A and B are shown apart, each in its own frame.
Chain A
Amino acid sequence: MKIQILGTGCPKCKKLAENAEAAAKDLGIAFEIEKVTDINEIMKFGVMMTPALAVDGKVKIVGKVPSADEIKKMLS
């Protein structure tokens, strides 16, 4: 599973990355986390509000930082 965190690097984006990593580890699935910080790259996902999270290329969360539990529910 490829998890991409879209954001320019502010505290919210880092928190989203941490929560996503915790969620994926808890679920015990093989995953790869990538941080996308370039604005033009972020726009290619069709995302306007950061931070955002995409799983295997599809955007699942926009503009929020859900908790690790909420991300777990979404990933499983």
Chain B
Amino acid sequence: MKWEEEWKKLAVIAIVFLVCFYLPVEYLQGWRRMKNAVWESLYLVRWYAQEHVLLCLIPAFFIAGAIAIFVSQESVMKYLGVKANKMLAYGVASVSGTILAVCSCTVLPLFAGIYRMGAGLGPACTFLYSGPAINVLAIILTARILGFELGMARAVTAIVFSIIIGLAMHFIFHKEEMEKTVGQADMPEPEVVRPLWQNAIFFALMVGVLVFANWGKPGEPTGFWHAVHSNKWIITGLFAAALGLVLIFWLKIPWFKIALTAAPTAILAAIFHREPMIPFAAGVVGLSWATSTDKGENSEWFAQSWGFAKQIMPLLFGGVLVAGFLLGRPGHEGLIPSEWVIKAVGGNSFFANFFASISGALMYFATLTEVPILQGLLGSGMGKGPALALLLTGPALSLPNMLVIYSVMGAKKTTAFISLVVVMATVTGLIYGAIFG
């Protein structure tokens, strides 16, 4: 029985016990704000379940899973390895986060690898920043829930500034000698199963289904946007049909499985033409069955997608509950009064953007949870500029991950990196808020 090891656990148990012992339940019961907060949390969870899980998250999981399996990570790594062309490495590092960092836990080892064994400090920092920031699932959900403008802004500024940060790090520390450890292990040559253009079309079709199934209703009942919206399910159906053909001919899924999926989906679409979620669900179930029962790459694809779902859904669920409880739905208050939010991060002042930046840098956001939290903040009065600032620091940095970065790069470089990120996020927020706020 070692007290030096056990005292922390005892301390936690004791504190929790004391809180429970003195819990002011009667006061909490009478506190209207607390009651509202609980309902807000439940309203928000229901809204997410009804509006976003089936039509947006599930297709996004399939897309992310496909990226993980079908896109050759080794070929991307060639651009970031020791023999890489340095200029090209920055460009590749800034966007490869979509392909390489689909699992958030791979970002740090990859960063360390690129720094010590690969293209060097600059591209490594570019990757370190952009990887989590342009995570495919996060961009999709941001665009869907927080608006297309914010989603695009997040993606574009993350890419552009990751390159700037990487270059800045390279120039600041350029004179220091970098110890390069053992050279990169030989990675097996990837076998080309499918030519690039086929993969591109496959992805484009899946993205098409995602985009059109989620096409938002525009303000005015006229114009291109509205025409698309009225016909969105027909267009989605066409994309899905094309996807079915690709699955048969290029991914080699047996045609009868696709037919067995397509038939019920089409029939349900005809019967339930006012409830598109029903045939959509049928399609999803069919696709899951067809891929998971296949041998080889297709079942791996499903396994990856399912893995993401298992990992991310509980986190998102928790994030939504907490966000709803603390901040409420847009237009409603949770536990935290809107005035506090407006005072801290409302409008587009330098302070608001800076405060948002720093908070994002320190706070830990589990994958995708930044979306409901930001939604709550925006609904409570946060300015659009500070919102972007938070999006640009939140997912990329947190206290725990700063410690790991420190163990790889050391104090000086880590401080430089964090400062660059915070400054850049603040400035970007200020500019975005000025233009779009």
* Chain A residues within 8 Å of B, Cβ to Cβ: 7-13, 39-40, 42-50, 59, 62-63
Contact = CB atoms under 8 A, between A and B. Distances in A.
Contacts of B407: 39-40
A47 B181 CA distance: 11
A48 B105 contact: no
Nearest to A13: B105
A11 B103 CA distance: 10
Contact of B109 (A11, A39, A59): A39
Nearest to A9: B105
Contact of A40 (B104, B185, B307, B408): B408
A8 B105 CA distance: 7
Contact of B114 (A10, A45, A48, A59): A48
B116 A62 contact: no
Nearest to B187: A62
B404 interface: yes
Nearest to B76: A49
A44 B112 CA distance: 11
A11 B109 CA distance: 15
Given A48-B118, A62-B187, A43 B112 contact: yes
Contacts of A43: 109, 112-113, 116-117, 181-182
Interface string B48-74: 000000000000000000000000011
Contact of B113 (A7, A8, A9, A47): A47
A49 B73 contact: yes
Given A7-B109, A50-B110, 8 more contacts: A8-B109, A9-B105, A10-B105, A43-B112, A45-B182, A48-B110, A48-B113, A50-B109
A73 B112 CA distance: 31
A39 B112 contact: yes
B interface: dominant SS:
helix
A47 B81 CA distance: 11
B404 A11 contact: no
Contacts of B117: 43, 46, 48
A46 B109 contact: no
B74 to A, nearest CB: 8
Please name the 7 residue pairs, one residue from A and one from B, whose CB atoms are nearest each other, closest first. Answer: A48-B113, A10-B105, A46-B185, A50-B109, A59-B185, A39-B112, A46-B182
B106 interface: yes
B404 A49 contact: no
Contacts of A13: 105
A9 B310 CA distance: 16
A14 to B, nearest CB: 11
A46 B112 contact: no
A48 B77 contact: yes
Contacts of B112: 39-40, 42-43
A74 B128 CA distance: 33
Contacts of B307: 11-12
Contacts of A10: 103-106
